[in-house]
Chains A and B, each alone.
Chain A
């Protein structure tokens, strides 16, 4: 969409208007991410510019072994990996099953598997609050892990489903005819090819669990207080530079997630390209 040399003045004006408008939208998207990082190194205790000298005191506060932040981080690091693992196993199995054969009610089943993404979080939270109270899962790590698995699993189903669109299931038959049992076929033939989908779904599930406040607020007690809950109450009570420090760490995590996703995307494209060539 390069500007043609014969473009009329009106077209030129539109060309530049579109670019300036988009630059402003991109600035709007990036501003909150960029503005909070310098504030985390502020020497003073206010979240304003100009900065009051450079200091790492807010990072010290976060990594204080007696402080609330480290405990919350620990809880999140207990819950998120288990929820991710469970989502990946259940979601991958289901996606493979959905693509393996046609059976009645497939559309309905897919709608059910995706629905946790659509239902408002507060409804999931209230429902689980009532239900977990009845079955004794309230205020427990296992309850939180199960809840976050529900929220993460649709991402795995969707991404693995997408990777399986070009998958040739005859390869499974070929593997079986060469004497491999179904489990070996899955791990040696299917999994390596759908791995980018499984992994990116897992990343989505991890990010969901690591950023989930609403359900955790309802079903967790202070003992299972996760990082997002700690951030939420921090923002609500008194927004201090310690929050900016934690936010900067989480932005670093987002950069990492973005990088890994990009690597996975390239890998998946390469796999598809190879399949097309062969």
Chain B
């Protein structure tokens, strides 16, 4: 008996040891797998996520005044915002205005304050030229004498707004809002409202492009999926060659085709269909044509791969049961393509939202999308806060749509299983 007992005991011990070993081996495998993924994750965190965070931070960044005029910024933050700030604030401001001339700080502060009031940089320059080294009286009387603007509460309120470490002004401006002098959010003057209509235009262009791609892509994908493999592979080249051709080449081609002296106008006039050339490019029509052409393969390919997997038997069964062929197509075939339609439309829509190059080349001034303004504020006017806020808003819209897409695809997979 004892021998048997000891045998089971050993078995138990080795069993436990084996389980432990197995767990360790499993953990080791996980660690090894993670170690393979880690280099790319770290790379993307450094070169992709970090830059985007930098941009997000820029959109609320308000550090100009704090860095160039730290004492003024600190002193004015305690001011109630009524009447005029204390002598200490004005003295700090006068001193730091002098020192800011060195090292280019004045330019930064001037640009930042100009967003509050377009005449602010001029005011700073004027004041600086007349500024005495030692004031004859208190700065509270000297400064307003130099320029009456310094006697106004709103001037100092603007400085106070620029003195906090963060600001929501760029985000508000991106949706055509601003803060009134009392700090309430209000719509900007009607003639200055730009961005909401730019966002609307972006959505309209992306939506039209998506719809057109679906209308053109669905029948073609259907035909390709139902033709014999040899023929469909051959015709697929017509889809894949444009897909692999440079976006710039295709955009240039459309300009050549559509311009006033271009191939299409020449052909139509040669046929006697029109007397004078039509304006087909550098307007909305040109943008839609070129964007649909570039994005159409992204609609066709997911549709095709879904349609390829649909068995024709269901449709045939419906018809043999007395269903009209059109009804069978609409009620039996089309619902099976929904996952492909969803994938294709969301993919095209998401890609179209961020388009910059094509509208910039084939569009007019009123066809530019959000991306154009982001690029404009970064490169042309150096209003980085505005560029960052518009970019962040575009990013939020895109990521929300991406999330919806993910949910949709996952739910379909759940429903199927």
A interface residues, Cβ below 8 angstroms from B? 1, 11, 18-19, 21-22, 25-26, 28-33, 35-36, 39, 46-49, 90-91, 93-94, 96-98, 100-103, 109, 111-113, 115-116, 118-132, 134, 146-147, 149-150, 153, 157, 207, 210-211, 213-214, 217-218, 228, 231-232, 235-236, 239, 243-244, 247, 250-251, 254-255, 257-258, 261
- The docked-state distance in angstroms from the alpha carbon of A251 to that of B49 is 34
Query: Which B residues, 80 to 110, have Cβ-Cβ distances below 8 Å to chain A?
Result: none
Tell me, yes or no, whether B309 is within 8 Å of chain A by CB: no
Q: Which of B162-170, B181-189, B261-269 contacts A (4 or more CB under 8 A)?
A: B261-269
Q: Is the CB of B44 within 8 A of A130?
A: no
Looking at the complex, which one of A11, A97, A236, A239 makes contact with B256 (CB distance below 8 Å)? A239
| Chain B residue contacts of A120, Cβ below 8 A | 353-354, 356, 371, 391, 394-395, 398
Decide yes or no: A130 and B255 within 8 Å by CB, A96-B36, A118-B402 being known contacts: no
| Chain B residue contacts of A26, Cβ below 8 A | 220, 235, 238-239
Give the distance to chain A from B243, nearest Cβ to Cβ, in Å: 8
Tell me, yes or no, whether B47 is within 8 Å of chain A by CB: yes
| Main SS at interface, chain B | helix
- The docked-state distance in angstroms from the alpha carbon of A228 to that of B252 is 12
- The docked-state distance in angstroms from the alpha carbon of A1 to that of B232 is 12
| Chain A residue contacts of B54, Cβ below 8 A | 127, 130-131, 134
Looking at the complex, which one of B235, B255, B374 makes contact with A126 (CB distance below 8 Å)? B374
Q: Is the CB of B246 within 8 A of A254?
A: yes
B interface residues, Cβ below 8 angstroms from A? 26, 29-30, 32-41, 43-44, 47-55, 58, 216-217, 219-220, 222-223, 226-227, 235, 237-242, 244-257, 261-263, 266, 293, 296-297, 312, 325, 350, 353-354, 356-357, 360-361, 371, 374-375, 378-379, 384, 387-388, 391, 394-395, 398-399, 402, 406
Decide yes or no: A150 and B47 within 8 Å by CB, A123-B395, A130-B384, A213-B357 being known contacts: yes
Looking at the complex, which one of A30, A127, A129, A247 makes contact with B238 (CB distance below 8 Å)? A30
| Chain B residue contacts of A100, Cβ below 8 A | 29, 32-33, 36
Q: Is the CB of A28 within 8 A of B50?
A: no
Give the distance to chain A from B119, nearest Cβ to Cβ, in Å: 29
| Chain A residue contacts of B245, Cβ below 8 A | 33, 250-251, 254
Looking at the complex, which one of B33, B48, B263, B402 makes contact with A98 (CB distance below 8 Å)? B33
Give the distance to chain B from A116, nearest Cβ to Cβ, in Å: 6
Q: Can you list the 9 inter-chain pairs with the closest CB atoms, starting with the nearest?
A: A120-B354, A97-B36, A127-B51, A32-B253, A131-B51, A1-B226, A100-B33, A97-B37, A101-B33
Q: Is the CB of B261 within 8 A of A46?
A: yes
- The docked-state distance in angstroms from the alpha carbon of A130 to that of B392 is 14
Q: Is the CB of B374 within 8 A of A123?
A: yes
Q: Is the CB of B37 within 8 A of A98?
A: yes
Q: Is the CB of A33 within 8 A of B250?
A: yes
Q: Is the CB of A119 within 8 A of B248?
A: no
- The docked-state distance in angstroms from the alpha carbon of A7 to that of B316 is 14
Decide yes or no: A32 and B55 within 8 Å by CB, A26-B220, A96-B36, A98-B37 being known contacts: no
| Chain A residue contacts of B293, Cβ below 8 A | 28-29, 32
Give the distance to chain B from A170, nearest Cβ to Cβ, in Å: 13
- The docked-state distance in angstroms from the alpha carbon of A125 to that of B387 is 11
Looking at the complex, which one of B41, B226, B297, B391 makes contact with A123 (CB distance below 8 Å)? B391
- The docked-state distance in angstroms from the alpha carbon of A21 to that of B375 is 39
Q: Knowing that A124-B48, A147-B47, A250-B245 are A-B contacts, what are 6 other residue pairs whose CB atoms are under 8 Å apart, sorted by A's residue number? A: A1-B227, A26-B239, A49-B263, A93-B36, A94-B37, A103-B34
Q: Is the CB of B52 within 8 A of A228?
A: no
Q: Is the CB of B244 within 8 A of A258?
A: yes
> B226: nearest residue on chain A (CB-CB)?
A1
Looking at the complex, which one of A25, A29, A255 makes contact with B219 (CB distance below 8 Å)? A25
Q: Is the CB of B252 within 8 A of A36?
A: yes
> B297: nearest residue on chain A (CB-CB)?
A29
> B289: nearest residue on chain A (CB-CB)?
A28
| Chain A residue contacts of B241, Cβ below 8 A | 30, 33, 251, 254-255, 258
Looking at the complex, which one of A25, A33, A218 makes contact with B379 (CB distance below 8 Å)? A218
Looking at the complex, which one of B33, B227, B255, B262 makes contact with A97 (CB distance below 8 Å)? B33
Q: Is the CB of A36 within 8 A of B388?
A: no
Looking at the complex, which one of A11, A91, A127 makes contact with B40 (CB distance below 8 Å)? A91
